[in-house]
A and B are shown apart, each in its own frame.
Chain A
Amino acid sequence: MTNTAQNDILLEVKNLKMHFPITKGIVIQRTVGAVKAVDGLNFFIRRGETLGLVGESGCGKSTTGRSILQLYKPTAGQVIFKGEELTKMKRGHLRAMRRQMQIIFQDPYASLNPRMTVGAIIGEPLEIHHLAAGKEKRERVQQLLRQVGLNPYFVNRYPHEFSGGQRQRIGVARALAVNPEFIVCDEPISALDVSIQAQIINLLEELQGEYSLTYLFIAHDLSVVRHISDRVAVMYLGKIVELANRDELYENPQHPYTQALLSAVPIPDPVVEERRQRIILQGDVPSPVNPPKGCNFVTRCPRAMDICHEKEPPFRDMGGDHYTACWLYE
């Protein structure tokens, strides 16, 4: 990688692991195993781009986002944001870094404190980071409300007075309050109705253009991810199995899991649906407590070979910014 390219990189993740210990015993707790929620991720995000992160429920998407933001203390690996390693950073310093990294949550009902007014919710991060107080804070909150398409007169209302889409806008305003450079969007539209989802997607796109924001966009809806992302990473059971530029990934998927996942997504066109050949995967995702030996996908892979049961495939550069972890290509 050349120096100029490196300057373009806002965030880099190296061998990131997040294992949650499973403990037994009430008085003396023993660790009897671990949920390998995230198990060795390597990727980077360029300044101003959107990296989509897709995969099925429980594959570790949210854990990845939270470990990056140091909301969890990663078990191993490095998270390098603007050249600085976060996992070993001292608290005070980390707090200053956190101002530049925000998160929008999936559930617009659970993620806002029901006893706080909208003004207090959006203003809170401004106070925590000593960015504004008093009249200045009030004005900033009203400006933020306007930016996310809400009426600035709403400041004194409570979350329950808003619809799901409006609450998600409040969550976006809160994340924007501290002028972050990087936002983890953790399924920001999954809980919303179809007719409202497009409103939030457009808002996120507009804000990105206006403030040069960088997004990690977590979702399980592959159509939405294709729409919003520049590059896309596909996760399965704690690992990234494939990563490529958006159109390359959707038009030329290499990993058998990506191929199956894409073929399973229904397309809103009966003519297309009639002609489609689906790869129907057998069985379910194994438990992250006992992932299979070899490749994590081996138990469901229609193309599994002997080696896949033995050794983990390397995450290989296929050229043209396209990476995949599969023995078929070794």
Chain B
Amino acid sequence: MGVLLEVKGLQTQFFTQDGVVNAVNGISYVLNEKETLAIVGESGSGKSVSVLSVMRLIPSPPGKIVAGEVIFEGQDVLKLDDEAIRHIRGNHIAMIFQDPMTSLNPVLTIYQQIGEALQLHLGMDKAQARQRAAELLEMVGIPEAENRLDDYPHQFSGGMRQRVMIAIGLSCNPKLLIADEPTTALDVTIQAQIVELVKKLKNDIGMAVIWITHDLGVVAGIAERVIVMYAGGIVEQAEVHELYANPRHPYTLGLLKSIPRMDMKRSQRLEPIEGLPPDLINLPPGCPFAPRCKYRIDRCTQEKPPLKEISPGHEVACWVDVTEGIGS
């Protein structure tokens, strides 16, 4: 499988009144064609900013991509002019967001929102575009799609609006779908519908997917590979089975221990991760997780650990080997 996207040393900052927010701090990863990659991490860890940077959608000011390369199909997206980047966004990379209500335009009908893209990017006439729009809505499971083309977003439920967003995203046969917490605002039964839908479409169309979430359950069901982010950096990255069977960063380990599992009888007590994530304006000098880490050694507070490969495809940024026990 070929490489579709390569992100190298990407660094994005926000220049605010309170200081410089280090939102994304030099992350690197590779996404293969047709692969599903999940990015997990808690609120503020830089998940959205990292993919918005890839799409060149960072508001500037206050934001700025200060370093790095984003190689998509061989060209550096960060060096493209505005027209070329719009072409990529319209034809090759689609993005769906957490809140389907704010990303659909409330005063335009569903057809106006899908059809516009089809006419603009694929050069269809109106009749073709209407037919294709109805097909796309059928494909994402909207019943009687033809009759709903002239409805407005508020006439759809949250789950249906998210389906419409996916239909719009798919309208140009993208090679990459970036989904930023597409199910977080939805109920579990609707979430299950959307997850199944994306899995099916991915197989049918053969696109790659980057799925952002904070839900380790969703990750386990959808991802082939997983990136764990903390305080703007990647702390661990592995194939999905490897990550859950053999988590090696104390933060990943902590996350997995702090969540109850629905399929298990009650375990004794949850083990929370004590403390809070660091302030991104004043990051600690060493490892950003060190203040909360029970494996911490002196080196952790002085020197930031690089991401290094511990077995094929499994990378961890930690000075300590957690399999050897606490504080070794």
Interface residues of A (CB under 8 A from B): 56-57, 163, 165, 193-199, 201-202, 205, 220, 222-224, 226-227, 246-247, 250, 260-273, 276, 278, 280-281, 284-285
Min CB distance, A109 to chain B, in Å? 13
Please report the total number of B residues contacting A with Cβ < 8 Å: 46
The answer to whether B260 and A270 touch across the interface, beta carbons within 8 angstroms, is: no
For the complex, what is the distance from the CA of A261 to the CA of B192, rounded to whole Å?
Answer: 10
The answer to whether A56 and B189 touch across the interface, beta carbons within 8 angstroms, is: yes
Can you list 23 contacts pairing A with B, beta carbon distance less than 8 Å? A163-B276, A193-B43, A194-B42, A195-B255, A196-B276, A197-B259, A201-B270, A202-B269, A226-B260, A246-B266, A250-B262, A260-B189, A263-B192, A264-B191, A267-B220, A267-B263, A268-B217, A268-B259, A269-B263, A270-B221, A284-B159, A284-B160, A284-B190
Residues of A within 8 A of B258 (CB): 194-195, 197-198
Select which of B160, B192, B269 is within 8 A of A280 by beta carbon: B192
Which residue of chain A is the closest to B251 with respect to CB atoms?
A195
Which residue of chain B is the closest to A284 with respect to CB atoms?
B157
The answer to whether A266 and B190 touch across the interface, beta carbons within 8 angstroms, is: no
For the complex, what is the distance from the CA of A285 to the CA of B189, rounded to whole Å?
Answer: 10
For the complex, what is the distance from the CA of A272 to the CA of B196, rounded to whole Å?
Answer: 16
B254 within 8 A of A: yes
Known: A226-B262, A227-B266, A281-B189. A268 touches B220 (CB 8 A): yes
B32 within 8 A of A: no
Select which of B42, B196, B266, B267 is within 8 A of A195 by beta carbon: B42
Could you list 11 further interchain pairs (A-B, Cβ under 8 angstroms) beyond the known A195-B273, A226-B262, A284-B190? A56-B187, A196-B272, A199-B274, A222-B262, A223-B259, A226-B260, A227-B260, A262-B262, A267-B217, A267-B220, A273-B220
B240 within 8 A of A: yes
For the complex, what is the distance from the CA of A116 to the CA of B217, rounded to whole Å?
Answer: 39
The answer to whether A220 and B187 touch across the interface, beta carbons within 8 angstroms, is: yes
Residues of B within 8 A of A227 (CB): 260, 266-267, 270
The answer to whether B259 and A266 touch across the interface, beta carbons within 8 angstroms, is: no
Of A194, A195, A223, A260, chain B has the most CB atoms within 10 Å of the CB of A195
The answer to whether B256 and A268 touch across the interface, beta carbons within 8 angstroms, is: yes
Which residue of chain B is the closest to A263 with respect to CB atoms?
B192
Min CB distance, B312 to chain A, in Å? 18
Min CB distance, B270 to chain A, in Å? 4
For the complex, what is the distance from the CA of A276 to the CA of B274, rounded to whole Å?
Answer: 33
For the complex, what is the distance from the CA of A266 to the CA of B194, rounded to whole Å?
Answer: 13
Which residue of chain A is the closest to B230 with respect to CB atoms?
A195
The answer to whether A270 and B241 touch across the interface, beta carbons within 8 angstroms, is: yes
Known: A56-B187, A268-B244, A273-B220. A278 touches B259 (CB 8 A): no
The answer to whether B270 and A265 touch across the interface, beta carbons within 8 angstroms, is: no
The answer to whether B260 and A224 touch across the interface, beta carbons within 8 angstroms, is: yes
Residues of A within 8 A of B190 (CB): 284
Select which of B191, B241, B260 is within 8 A of A223 by beta carbon: B260
B271 within 8 A of A: yes
Min CB distance, A29 to chain B, in Å? 25
The answer to whether A266 and B220 touch across the interface, beta carbons within 8 angstroms, is: yes
For the complex, what is the distance from the CA of A283 to the CA of B277, rounded to whole Å?
Answer: 39
For the complex, what is the distance from the CA of A285 to the CA of B187, rounded to whole Å?
Answer: 10
The answer to whether B214 and A269 touch across the interface, beta carbons within 8 angstroms, is: no
Residues of B within 8 A of A263 (CB): 192
Select which of B195, B219, B241, B266 is within 8 A of A271 by beta carbon: B241
B218 within 8 A of A: yes
The answer to whether B265 and A281 touch across the interface, beta carbons within 8 angstroms, is: no
Which residue of chain A is the closest to B221 with respect to CB atoms?
A273
Residues of B within 8 A of A285 (CB): 187
B87 within 8 A of A: no
Which residue of chain B is the closest to A164 with respect to CB atoms?
B43
A-B pairs with the 6 shortest C-beta distances? A266-B217, A198-B272, A227-B260, A264-B192, A198-B270, A198-B258
Residues of B within 8 A of A222 (CB): 188, 262
8 Å CB contacts to A: which residues of B262-292? Answer: 262-263, 265-267, 269-274, 276-277
Min CB distance, A51 to chain B, in Å? 15
B28 within 8 A of A: no
For the complex, what is the distance from the CA of A265 to the CA of B254, rounded to whole Å?
Answer: 21
The answer to whether A280 and B262 touch across the interface, beta carbons within 8 angstroms, is: no
Residues of A within 8 A of B256 (CB): 268
B193 within 8 A of A: yes
Min CB distance, A189 to chain B, in Å? 11
B138 within 8 A of A: no
The answer to whether B188 and A264 touch across the interface, beta carbons within 8 angstroms, is: yes
> Using an 8 Å CB-CB cutoff, how does the interface string of B246-260 with A read, 1 for contact, 0 for none?
000000001110111
For the complex, what is the distance from the CA of A282 to the CA of B214, rounded to whole Å?
Answer: 26
For the complex, what is the distance from the CA of A57 to the CA of B277, rounded to whole Å?
Answer: 29
For the complex, what is the distance from the CA of A57 to the CA of B186, rounded to whole Å?
Answer: 8
Residues of A within 8 A of B277 (CB): 193, 195
For the complex, what is the distance from the CA of A273 to the CA of B222, rounded to whole Å?
Answer: 9
Min CB distance, A303 to chain B, in Å? 15
Which residue of chain B is the closest to A276 with respect to CB atoms?
B221
Residues of A within 8 A of B260 (CB): 201, 223-224, 226-227
The answer to whether B262 and A56 touch across the interface, beta carbons within 8 angstroms, is: no
The answer to whether B217 and A280 touch across the interface, beta carbons within 8 angstroms, is: no
For the complex, what is the distance from the CA of A197 to the CA of B187, rounded to whole Å?
Answer: 19
8 Å CB contacts to A: which residues of B124-182? Answer: 157, 159-160
B69 within 8 A of A: no
For the complex, what is the distance from the CA of A197 to the CA of B323, rounded to whole Å?
Answer: 26
